[in-house]
Amino acid sequence: MYRVAKASEYLVLTGAGIEDIKLAKKSWIFPGQSSTVFDLSPVNYTFEVQAMSAEKLPFVLPAVFTIGPRVDDHESLLKYAKLISPHDKLSNHVKELVQGIIEGETRVLAASMTMEEVFKGTKEFKQEVFEKVQLELNQFGLLIYNANVKQLVDVPGHEYFSYLGQKTQMEAANQARVDVAEAEMKGEVGSKSREGQTLQNAAKIDAETKVIAMQRAGESNKEGFRVRTEVKVFENQREAEANSELAMKKAAWTKAAQVAQVEAAKSVVLREAELQGEVEKMNALKNCTEKLKADLLSKASVQYETKANWELYKKQKEAEAILYEKKAEAEAQKALADATFYACKQAAEADLYAKKKEAEGIVTLGNAQGAYVSTLLNALGNDYTALRDYLMINGGMFQEMAKINAEAVRGLEPKISIWTNGGDNGGGIAEGSMGMKEVAGVYKMLPPLFKTVHEQTGMLPPAWMGTLSDKSS
């Protein structure tokens, strides 16, 4: 007969014409041959492997392995068909076989690792178990499709993982408290540091301002003294120059007079020498006398020029001192003008900043009021009358109006009279008489009106309008 396996099954054929076994999805079954079907679907195996670490600490390793035949390898399928397929996949035989391999490899691997390594390297531990178990399952034609190692569990009486978890939690909680305390400390220290820096900077600025003010005052006094000194020196210099020029002119005049005298004397001597030969001796004597006079005059001139130069130097120094004093005063006035200009500039900038901030405040207030009115208008459905009434009520306008009216009539004690011109006599009145009816109504109102005005104000109506009787009506 002809047999066909399902999508997740294989046919295993044995018998005549087949050397060992034959795997097929569909085939003819001839006489002398037999066929069986085995399922390829993987099966989940759940275990709780009890193992022990290198420190001799026991623990439980819950694991779930998804295991099935290796469908992509023909040799593996042959091994599975020979060794496993005769048994039910969920039978104790297959389960004990798989469980023995997994527990053995897991215990061997756990015995070579410390508890800390097993706990921290769960991923690596799982990978190594997977590889070693798969190596053993290959000889049965089985494949681990998935292996899920659950959280490690303590063995009763050996609560290592629970204590380790508590330790980690306590360390995390303590670290969190330390971090909070450190943050609070930094905040307090930072706040105090900022306050201290502010006070220090303020004190430093005050001290620097005072120092600068003292320096400016000293510089101003120094510049004033220097200007006065320079002016004085300049005046002395001008006076010395004038005196020197006058002395030079006097010396020139004296020299010219002396030269004229000498020339006249020489002319007389020459004239006398021509007339009289004896005059030569007297002339020689006179020449000696003139020479002596010239020497004496030269010494006197030198002494006079020396004294004049000293007076000139003295006056020049005095002029330089006055000039220096005047220059110092001018520079002091300039520094004072600069300081005044700077103060005015600072005041103008402060006023400008204040007005700018005031304008920003007005703009902000206007924006806030606009947003407030816009929000109210939207809430009232864009009803401007309702918005006006709400603003008047909220602003207390009606209370203020009532208060003003009450103040206006306080102490007047008015007398109020109410009158009427009567009701309608019916609907039978002609249209031509309606005007006369209104006039009659006005005349009916006048007497009570005059009476009321007279009672409240004491004024009487003019005579042409009528007079009031003593009666009250």
Q: Give yes or no: residues 99 and 152 share one domain.
A: yes
Q: Tell me which DSSP letter residue 431 carries.
A: G
Q: Give yes or no: residues 150 and 57 share one domain.
A: yes
CA distance 1 to 409: 126
R_g of the chain, CA atoms, integer Å: 67
Q: Give yes or no: residues 88 and 141 share one domain.
A: yes
Query: What's the pLDDT score for residue 192?
Result: 81
The residue type of 147 is: A
Question: What CATH code is carried by the domain that includes residue 139?
Answer: 3.30.479.30
Last residue of a domain, one of 136, 158, 180: 158
What's the length of the chain? 473
Q: Give yes or no: residues 144 and 74 share one domain.
A: yes
Helix 384-394, helix 279-379: angle, nearest 10: 110
Number of domains in the chain: 2
Q: Give yes or no: residues 16 and 101 share one domain.
A: no
Residue 329 located in a structural domain: no
Which residues, including other chains, have CB under 8 Å from residue 73's CB and lie 6 or more apart? 141
Q: Give yes or no: residues 24 and 53 share one domain.
A: no
What is the DSSP track for 292-332? HHHHHHHHHHHHHHHHHHHHHHHHHHHHHHHHHHHHHHHHH
Residue 189 located in a structural domain: no
Residue 196 located in a structural domain: no
Reduced to 3 states (helix: H, G, I; strand: E, B; else coil), residue 64 is: strand
87 phi and psi angles, rounded to 5 deg: -105, 155
Residue 155 burial class via C-beta count within 10 angstroms: exposed 0-12, middle 13-18, buried 19 and up: middle
**Hey, what are 141's tokens?**
């034609």
| CA dihedral of 63, 68, 69, 71, whole degrees rounded to 10 | -110
CA distance 75 to 403: 110
Q: Give yes or no: residues 89 and 137 share one domain.
A: yes
Residue 141 located in a structural domain: yes
* Three-state secondary structure string covering 435-450: HHHHHHHHHHHHHHHH
Residue 89 located in a structural domain: yes
Which residues, including other chains, have CB under 8 Å from residue 182's CB and lie 6 or more apart? none
The range of the structural domain enclosing residue 17 comes to 1-39
Instruction: Write down the number of H helices and E strands in the chain.
Output: 9, 9
pLDDT tens over the chain, length 473 residues: 888 888 878 888 888 888 878 888 888 888 888 888 888 888 888 877 777 777 777 777 777 888 888 888 888 888 888 887 777 666 777 778 887 888 787 777 777 777 777 666 567 777 777 888 888 888 888 888 887 776 665 566 555 556 666 666 777 777 877 888 888 888 788 888 888 888 888 888 888 888 888 888 778 777 777 778 887 888 888 887 878 788 788 887 888 778 778 777 777 777 776 777 666 666 677 777 667 766 776 666 666 667 777 777 788 888 888 888 888 888 888 888 887 888 788 888 888 888 888 888 888 888 888 888 888 888 888 888 888 878 878 877 777 877 887 777 676 666 555 555 555 554 444 444 555 666 677 667 777 777 777 777 777 776 666 666 655 44
The per-residue pLDDT for range 434-443, each reduced to its tens digit, is: 556 666 776 6
Q: Tell me which DSSP letter residue 155 carries.
A: B
Last residue of a domain, one of 104, 137, 158: 158
CA distance 239 to 228: 17
What distances in angstroms separate CA 121 from CA 57, 160, 441, one per listed residue?
Answer: 17, 16, 113
**Hey, what are 50's tokens?**
């009890």
260: left (phi over 0), alpha (psi -120 to 50) or beta: alpha
Residue 230 located in a structural domain: no
Q: Give yes or no: residues 68 and 1 share one domain.
A: no
CA distance 247 to 244: 5
Count of Cβ atoms closer than 10 Å to residue 105 Cβ: 21
34 phi and psi angles, rounded to 5 deg: -130, 155
- What's the maximum distance between 2 C-alpha atoms anywhere in the chain? 203
Q: Give yes or no: residues 131 and 113 share one domain.
A: yes
Q: Give yes or no: residues 103 and 15 share one domain.
A: no
Spell 194-227 as b/e; 16+ CB within 10 A means b. eeeeeeeeeeeeeeeeeeeeeeeeeebeebbbbb
Q: Give yes or no: residues 17 and 76 share one domain.
A: no
Last residue of a domain, one of 128, 158, 188: 158
Distance of CA 62 to the CA centre of its chain: 56
Query: What's the pLDDT score for residue 100?
Result: 84
Spell 307-332 as b/e; 16+ CB within 10 A means b. ebeeebeebbbbbbbbbbbbbbbbbb
| CA dihedral of 139, 141, 142, 143, whole degrees rounded to 10 | 100
Q: Give yes or no: residues 152 and 63 share one domain.
A: yes
**Hey, what are 295's tokens?**
């020497």
CA distance 461 to 472: 16
Residue 424 located in a structural domain: no
Its sign, for the CA torsion 273, 278, 282, 285, is: positive
Reduced to 3 states (helix: H, G, I; strand: E, B; else coil), residue 99 is: helix
Residue 101 located in a structural domain: yes
